[in-house]
Structure formats: C-alpha cells, structure tokens
Structure 1
Amino acid sequence: MLDKSQVVTSLLCEDAYKFSMGQAIFHQFSDYKTTWDFRCRNSDVKFTPEMVEEIRRQVRLFCELRFTEDELAYLDKIRWIKGSYVDFLRLWHARYEDFTIDGNAPCGLRIEASGTWLNTSMYEIPILAIVNEVYFRYAYDSDELFGQFERKLSKKIGALCDGSFRLGNFSEFGLRRRLSARAQELAVSMLRDNDSRFAESHFVGTSNVELARKYGVTPVGTMAHEWIMCAGQGNHKHNPAYSNWYALDAWVKEYGILNGTALTDTITTDCFLRDFQLTYATLFSGVRHDSGDPFVWGEKMLRHYEKLGIDPITKTLLFSDSLDFGRATALHDKFSSRCRVAFGIGTFLSNDTDVPALNIVMKVVKCNGQDVAKISDIEGKGMCRNADYVDYLNRCIKWRMENEIGRTQLR
C-alpha cells in the first residue's frame, strides 16, 4: 500500500545553517526578496503527474506547521541564537502562496518559490526532502529500498568499529537528499549509539536540527552559497566580484567569533582568498570545501593560512562534497596531522541503496529582482537563469584577479 504519511512533521526538520543564516537575514536583510528554482540533474528521472500532485499536498501540509514552544526553547539554548530571532520564529510559517508547483519541466516537475528571503530561505531543505521521499515512494517498493539501506548502513557501522575507515570528526549532512525520514533517523540513531565503539572516528552530530534535538547530538551548519550570493550580489551597488567580502563582513557583524565556518567556492576559492585575509581568517574557525579537487583545495587553504602567519593546526578544514568513507579516510590521512579535519557526509549516509540517488537542488536565482549566480570551483555545480549575468560575473572576477593591486594585504 502506497505510503501517504506526512513527510515533514516539524519545522525543526531543517538544516542548521538555515537558522544560522535566517537569524542574520532577520537582523540585516529582512527586506530582501528572492526567487528560487528547483532542478533535477538526473537525465533519466521523470516525475509523474501523480507525484507532482502528492508533492503539492505535502507542501501544503508543510505550510500548516508552526514551531512549538518546546522546539523554540531548544533553539533558544543554542549559544549563537538570539532571543529576538526566536520571537520571530514564534510567528513564522511557510506560505503556500509563495510556491508554483507544476509539471512544466523536462523532468516533469517545476518548483519555483518567490517572496522574502526570510521565508524562501527556509523552504529549500524541506522541499527537497519532500521531493525525494515522494519520488521513492511512488517509483519503487519503499520497504525493499529501506531494507537495502539498512543492510548497507549496518556494514558501514561495522567498518567504523573495526577501523577499516578513519574519519576523525564527522557529521551526517543528508537531509536534502535522504531516502526518507525513517532512513535518516535510523542513520543518526545508529551512529550515535555506536560512536563509543568506533576505532578512529567520532560522530559529532547532524545538520538536521530535529534529529539533533531528538538524539542529543550537535546541530551542525554555518552558511550556504545563498548567503554569499544574496548578501554579496543582492545589493545592486555592489561589484559581485566582492561578494565574499560583503558576506563575511555581515556574518562577523552578526556572530563575531561564534559560528564561523566560511564557505569558499561560491565565486571560486581563488577569489574568496582575496578577501579571506588576516582579520577574517583569524575570526573564522575554519573553512568548508564543496566543489573541486578536495586535496588541491586543502593544500591551497593550508598555504594561505601559513602565508598569513596563522598556524593551520588551529583551524578546521570541513569537507562536504560527495563524500563516502573511503574518500573521507584518504582526506583524513592527508591532512589530519597538519590541521583540524572534519567531514559532513550526506547521501552516502542517508540514501545509499541499490538505486541511484536523486541529484536535485533548489537554488536562489534572483535577489531583489536581479540575477545572482554561483560559479563554483568545478563545471556543473553552478546555477543561474541568465547566461549573460554569469558571463558578467566571470568577467568581474577575471578583472579583479588580474588587475587588482593592494587589496591582498593583511587586514
């Protein structure tokens, strides 16, 4: 019998960095407007009309949710969350009117969300979780897939226990592409319950705030690409090649030395390093990798810290791009003696079955009526509606990298 139960049952079913960014948006960018687009990168995946209708129904159910006082009390205890933001969340809910959901796309599913950045930022992760779970419920035998997932997860737990893999500190980052709520919860619970048995790995927490609360682990997450795209490109007076500077500056105004892991690849890591000079490199506890060769990126970051006179052993390199245990172990072995290393592992922990996982994203494409773009460190991870804007942004970055003088001093 087809499972029609509600997919998202709590507003805490959200990646932690949405609350990190949400608080800063509330205090500094509450008037910003954004538009978001859904995209499925799997060329062979088609959403049926029945799936689209069920996705609409699930989104309506999501829009009926409200934060409970117990959930707000949990958020209020997080060190970097302020009471003013908690009070705002007490009033917050998703608006179904912000969504357009239909079948007018090559994959059979089009989703657009438009409204205040305060609202639309909070839609991305639950919508992706809904799309994933609905798709796998309709396209496959859910019980059979869950059985495959459970067997593979048990083998992974065993491999961590016997020392086959060495991860050091790692977190579960799989909410957006999870097989189901049941699968992600099983992964978090088993990782927590077996952590004391892991030979050379330590399970820190999960990006899913709902599960972090339920299982008493750390909610993990700082910023996403949208932060640099909107804070850096949403103001029409800004040169977009300085997106990172505007975004880092706003983050420090909000958090000071707290909650500081900077994302490097929104408009290429090389451009990011022009702005990640002594002040920011000191204030931020580390940096996150999300595209390009992670070994090349790691060496580049260590050289940058050393050039600034900062001992890399005091900083964290957080790797989060398409990781499995084997790749994480190789990165741990390469860098753990030279800096702090951590991993955010997503689909490998939340949606590993005999069936290929969906490669779906929902990205901001406009801010305040203007195109915004992510360039990334590798082809295929960028997203923008307007090729002319991408060309303009690339030319701005190229000019800065080739012509700017006197901006890379220590500061």
Structure 2
Amino acid sequence: MVDIATRVWNHRWKIDPVVRSLIDTDFYKLLMCQSVFRNMPDTKVTFSLINRADHVPLARLIDEGELREQLDHIRSLSLTRGESTYLRGNTFYGKRQMFRPDFMEWLEGVRLPPYHLERVGDQYELTFEGAWPEVMLWEIPALAVLMELRGRAVLNDMGRFELQVLYARALTKLWEKVEVLQRVEGLRLADFGTRRRHSYLWQDRCVQALIEGLGEKFVGTSNCHIAMKRDIEAIGTNAHELPMVYAALAETDEELRAAPYKVMADWHEEHDGNLRIILPDTFGSREFLENAPDWLAGWTGMRIDSGDPVAGAEAAIEWWRARGEDPRQKLVIFSDGLDVDKIVELQKRFSGRVRVSFGWGTYLTNDFRGLAPDDALAPFSLVCKAASANGNPTVKLSDNPLKAMGPSDEIERYRRVFGVAPQERMDVFV
C-alpha cells in the first residue's frame, strides 16, 4: 500500500502526475464520447472552467507554470496497449465489446486538443475548444488537475510528521464512514469521486477501503483506470453535457423542446439494460417527465442529481406508476452531494419502493474538512462545462436555480420554452 504522506513530502510530481492515463477519467465520458463520435463528430464545442467558490483563489494558490506543465502532460497521453486491450475486450454492464472497433481505432490515436489559460484576478480562465469527441475528454482531467494542485499548494507548507498525521486522520474519517455503511441493509454504492478528488492516490485508497469494508455492497467506480487496476466494475451512463449541446444546436423553439428526447433516442439505439438511465434535470425534471414520450418509462431507471433528492425520487415513482410501470423494478441512482447520513436516510426511505443505488462523490474522495488549518483542504464547487456548440451558447437549468448556467437571456428563453416553474434554491457545496 502506497505511503501517500511520504509521496507528498517528496514532491516529485513526475513520479505522481495528477493525471497518469487517458482513461483516468469517468467511464461515462467514454460512453458519451462513443455516442458523440457516431452521431455528431464534427460539432465544435467549447468547454469552460467555472469556480462557483470565489473564496478559493485558485490563481494565487496554484503556480501557472506548474499548471501548464500538468496540462501539457495530459496532452501527451495516449492509450497504452494494455488500456486498449482492456476497453476492447472487457465486459462492461454485461456486454462484451461495448466500444465499437471504429471508435477504438479513433481513440487509440487521439490526443487532447490545445487549451487556453489566462489569469483573471485571483482565478484562472481555462477553456478548451475543438471537435466535440476530442474536446469533451478534457473535462474530468482538467478538474482533477486543479483540485489536486490546490491541495498540493496547501500540503506544501506542512512538515513530514504533520502530513503523516493528516493522512492518518483522513483515513480514520474514511473508515468510520465505511463502518456506518456496513450496517445498511441492501446498500448498493459506487465511487463517483474522480472530478473533485483530493488526488489520484487518495481516490485509489478510498476505493480499496470500500472493496475491503463493503464487499458486495460496493458495486464499482466511475474511474476507468482504477476499475482496470483493481479489477472491479467501471460505472457510468450519461451526463448533462449531451442535452446541453443538443439543445444549443436547435434552431427553433420546437427543436429546442425536443432536444432532450433526441438525446434519449440516440442513446436508446446504442445501449440497453442498466445503461438506459434517465437524467432528467438538465432543463427541469418535472417539465422533462411531463413531456417525455411513453417509451422512456420502459428504461431501467433514473439518476437524481440536483434539487431535493427525496422530492426527485418521489416524482420518479409517481411518474412510473402513472405509466403503468412497477417502481419496485426500477433503479433510482442518487448522486448529488452525498455523504453517509444522507445515504442512510435515502436508503431507509426508498428501500423496497424502488431499487436504490448511490454514486458517492466528493465527500468520499475529498473529505478533508476540518483536517487542515483554516480548513484549507475543504472541498469546493468547481465544474468544467460545455459553454457553446457551433458558436451557440449552452444552458443548464438544473432543479436548483443556483446551478443554472448560461447567458441570462438564454436562461430565461429556456425557462419559457420548457415551462420551468419557480424552483427552490438550495446551497451548493460541491
């Protein structure tokens, strides 16, 4: 087992680059990339970094030269022979050859496109522009780099013994959470923590703790590289990026209204079983479900990713019932800002009513709250989202208005087109 504190003390990032593999990313990125490669390979998309936590001055904490060095390193990465063999030959979600030969040939030759980095006050402006299948692969590694470099900036001022104590306390905190979850009957939990992790080594340590501590209750990780390394399931379906870009390409209000369902139709053609998971909240969950075609009710389940998770799951149950589906046969995946207490609460409330699963993210792989002076290692809300497609701005409404993204006039247009009712504001921590 790696001594993380000693590795941090040595400060040799060339031994431990933040991102060490092209598949050190969330599995759903690769699934979506294949879909985009098939359906919209020539669409030009721009991704932008958004720091929702202004109190974290990234440009003062992170040296620009070191950041560029890490980003340049990512651009040098390509699939290794072993990684290619894993993706081509492994079984994912019960399906062999999940990734088509033409996509794999493309992926084996891909390099990430250039980035644009500029300091603006105490923050960095970081953008990526290019063909959608290539540029979308920047999102997860870009977030991982910034989160880890921020952590390294804090750790750099600590002594060797202080680092040992810090990681011992963090490991104790992690294991105490595992011990609580051991007592939860019927639990199904996956690691969703790549994008805002403390570090690659810490995410890997968290996965090892879940493997040992939870056994069959731990169903896998979203991190494709760690899944390969630890011989566990790679978990992931699709994300808000797809409907955001599809909607930005719509030329009329009618096409805009239909865009989220066009995404689902394209996904339906490509995947079945547990990959048919609805993510309804991009432009408001209530409005999405009210206007959804009946065939979507036959999908396997739904991911609840913003707003009140109880209200979201209750709405999903009623929606299935109204369409003649048995909610007890459906899968509900909770994935927004989860920690142990919320996981226990949601499992207790919905067990037996639906099949419940959890995607545990930031508070699994980056919960150093209270462990460093001035809480300098506390996680914060950092995202990298598609900002435009073929020159048109993208919009995300979410079920929480504080998570809305896009130009204000476009946000209002989308609210009108999708008929989004007033929404409850909820604090965004991660």
Asked if Structure 1 and Structure 2 have the same fold, meaning a TM-score greater than 0.5 normalized by the shorter chain, the answer is yes
- Partners in 1 of 2:418 and 2:213 — Cα distance? 47
1:160 Cα deviation from its structure 2 partner = 2.7
1:83 aligns with 2:98: no
1:301 Cα deviation from its structure 2 partner = 0.4
1:93 Cα deviation from its structure 2 partner = 1.4
Residue range with higher mean Cα deviation, 148-157 or 231-240: 231-240
SS state of the match for residue 38, structure 1? strand
Residue range with higher mean Cα deviation, 13-22 or 67-76: 67-76
SS state of the match for residue 352, structure 2? coil
State the one-letter code of the partner of 1:39. Answer: I
1:257 Cα deviation from its structure 2 partner = 4.7
Give yes or no for contact 1:175–1:207 (8 Å, CA) kept in 2: yes
Change (3 A) 1:140 1:371: same
Give yes or no for contact 2:181–2:344 (8 Å, CA) kept in 1: no
- Partners in 1 of 2:293 and 2:58 — Cα distance? 46
Q: Match for residue 184 of structure 1?
A: 203
- Partners in 2 of 1:13 and 1:146 — Cα distance? 23
Q: Match for residue 281 of structure 2?
A: 265
Q: Match for residue 405 of structure 1?
A: none
> 1:23 is matched with which residue: 30, 34, 41?
34
> 1:223 is matched with which residue: 235, 238, 241?
238
Q: Match for residue 169 of structure 1?
A: 188
Residue range with higher mean Cα deviation, 232-241 or 80-89: 232-241
Q: Match for residue 280 of structure 1?
A: 296
Give yes or no for contact 1:365–1:371 (8 Å, CA) kept in 2: yes
Between the two proteins, what is the percent identity of the paired residues?
28
Q: Structure 2: where are the runs of 5+ without partners? A: 1-8, 422-430
1:235 Cα deviation from its structure 2 partner = 3.6
Give yes or no for contact 2:180–2:340 (8 Å, CA) kept in 1: no
Give yes or no for contact 2:284–2:398 (8 Å, CA) kept in 1: yes
1:61 Cα deviation from its structure 2 partner = 0.3
Q: Match for residue 103 of structure 1?
A: 119
> 1:311 is matched with which residue: 326, 330, 337?
326
> Normalising to structure 1: TM-score of the pair?
0.90
State the one-letter code of the partner of 2:379. Answer: A
Give yes or no for contact 1:241–1:267 (8 Å, CA) kept in 2: no
- The number of residue pairs the alignment matches comes to 389
Q: Mapping of 1:6-405 within 5 angstroms? A: 6-48=17-59, 50-76=62-88, 77=90, 78=92, 79=95, 80-95=98-113, 97=114, 99-104=115-120, 106-141=121-156, 143=163, 145-161=166-182, 163=183, 165=184, 168-196=187-215, 202-237=217-252, 239-257=255-273, 259-282=275-298, 284-353=299-368, 354=370, 355=375, 356-384=378-406, 386-398=407-419
- Partners in 2 of 1:107 and 1:311 — Cα distance? 52
- Partners in 2 of 1:266 and 1:241 — Cα distance? 12
- Partners in 2 of 1:209 and 1:285 — Cα distance? 22
1:145 Cα deviation from its structure 2 partner = 4.4
Give yes or no for contact 1:170–1:345 (8 Å, CA) kept in 2: yes
1:166 Cα deviation from its structure 2 partner = 5.0
Q: Match for residue 425 of structure 2?
A: none
